[in-house]
Amino acid sequence: MSRKRPDGDGTVRKRKDGRWEGRIVIGHKDDGTPIFKSVFAKTQKELMPKLHTAINEYRGVDISEKGNMTLGEWMDRWIEEYAVPTLRSSTVNGYTKDINNHIRPALGAKQIRFITRNDVQKFYNSLTKKKRKHLIHGVEKTLADSTVRGIHMLLHEIMDSAVRSRLISKNPTNGTTIPKCNYPPKKILNEEQLNKFMDAIRKEPLWYDFFYTEITTGLRLGEICGLKWIDLDETTGKLKVRRSVHKAPGGKLEIGETKTEKGTRSILLPPSTLHLLKERRKTAMTEWIFSSLLTPEEPTSPSTAYHRLKVILAGAGLPDIRFHDLRHTFATHALTSGVDAKTLSGILGHTNASFTLDTYTHVTTDMQKNASVIVGDFMEELFGKELKPWQN
């Protein structure tokens, strides 16, 4: 049976080599045998602070013998037992790539209980200097700050699970320094470009409904491809977003859950979009709102939609933006048109309104400037143009 170490329990002895050793019980093996941790010093006086630090670190902790496994072994187990059953396969694939390309080469061979905050910090520092060659252009570039932050978040969760599984006493990623979020400016279509885009998709009868729905809802690419007719309530005008389509390794389409828990949502469609989908439904032959042109029993492939967007943009002489930038375009114009952040957050499926505000700081800054002008004009009308600041 596993037993908890009594608070303050520790032994001190002088070794034959002249050093002083402090030893505490930090856990138990499966057969009940204690697992010890030792600290050393040249004198008993130097030893005691180290011993008290160790006692405080492991107070209330009962480490299992599995703490002897390497981080690589734990990551393999974490992927199979924690990630695969709960996450989308695309997310698991992304995590596996980060583990194999970055974490495993640096820390995988080390026993998990011996990995320190300093080890993790050195790893993060090396990532910020690491260069990789672009697969298409062949240019070497350092990892983006957002990539390093993503690797940190992954390793943090892996280590948190190790703490909960009694492999280690504390998470060594806590207290580390990682790059700030220096995201590049959002690429959007301005009002003139958006009008050109709308003119361009009108010339695309097979794709018009798809892109019109996207630009008026801001759905993620996988979400709009995953829409079914059962998701549309023509009476209320609401559209349920509850699945996402993505490409699995090998090219096969997989239907999964939305990106986040908040991603499963119900949005009220603009009247024009609702009318468009009602008309489209009259000739629909499959369960998918936007079925594949070649295989109607399947949804539109995200990669097919992405490449079609590129063709449309090039033909119209518009900037070469990503599909996700259509979502940014929708959100930006919604905010500038007066849609409040909380409402927009619900439409976009963001975790909370603060995330929406952080994501679109460039818009909210301009809105604040406009608001200050409006307030200034209002105050002048109320008190007259001779209004002056209060003076002490």
What's the average pLDDT block by block, 10 residues per block, for the chain (392 residues)? 44 89 79 80 89 77 71 95 85 92 96 92 90 50 85 96 85 92 77 95 96 95 96 96 85 77 81 96 95 94 96 96 92 82 82 66 52 47 51 45
Q: Retrieve residue 56's tokens.
A: 């405080």
What does the pLDDT read at residue 297? 94
Q: Retrieve residue 392's tokens.
A: 């002490």
349 contacts 226 by C-beta, under 8 angstroms? no
Q: What share of the chain is helix, strand, coil (3-state, %, to 5)?
A: 50, 15, 35
According to DSSP, residue 261 is labeled G
Q: Which among 385, 221, 242, 228 is positioned nearest to 302, based on CA atoms?
A: 221
Residue 50 CB contacts under 8 Å (≥ 6 apart), including other chains: 22, 39, 40, 41
What does the pLDDT read at residue 383? 52
Helix axis angle, 117-129 to 145-164, nearest 10°: 160
Q: What is the CA radius of gyration of the chain?
A: 29
What does the pLDDT read at residue 371? 46
For residues 211 and 207, what is the distance between their CA atoms, to the nearest angstrom? 6
Q: Is 112 helix (H, G, I), strand (E, B) or coil?
A: helix
- Mean of per-residue pLDDT scores for the chain: 83
**Chain mean position to CA 104:** 21
For residues 272 and 213, what is the distance between their CA atoms, to the nearest angstrom? 9
* φ/ψ (deg, to 5) at 229: -65, -25
Q: Which among 47, 70, 248 is positioned nearest to 167, based on CA atoms?
A: 70
Q: Which residues of 225-264 are buried (b: 16+ CB within 10 A; e: fewer)?
A: bbbbeebbeeeebebebbbbbbeeeeeebeebebbeeebb
What does the pLDDT read at residue 5? 39
Q: Which residues of 360-387 are buried (b: 16+ CB within 10 A; e: fewer)?
A: beebbeeeeeeeeeeeeeeeeeeeeeee
What does the pLDDT read at residue 355? 63
For residues 123 and 128, what is the distance between their CA atoms, to the nearest angstrom? 9
What does the pLDDT read at residue 8? 46
Q: Which among 162, 170, 172 is positioned nearest to 81, based on CA atoms?
A: 162
What does the pLDDT read at residue 123? 95
According to DSSP, residue 264 is labeled S
Residue pointed to by tokens 């932050």: 149
Q: Retrieve residue 86's tokens.
A: 């709960």
Beta strand pairing call for 232-233 and 238-241: antiparallel
Q: Note the pLDDT tens digit of each residue in 115-158.
A: 999 999 999 999 988 755 444 445 556 788 888 999 999 999 99
Q: Which amino acid is at 20?
A: W
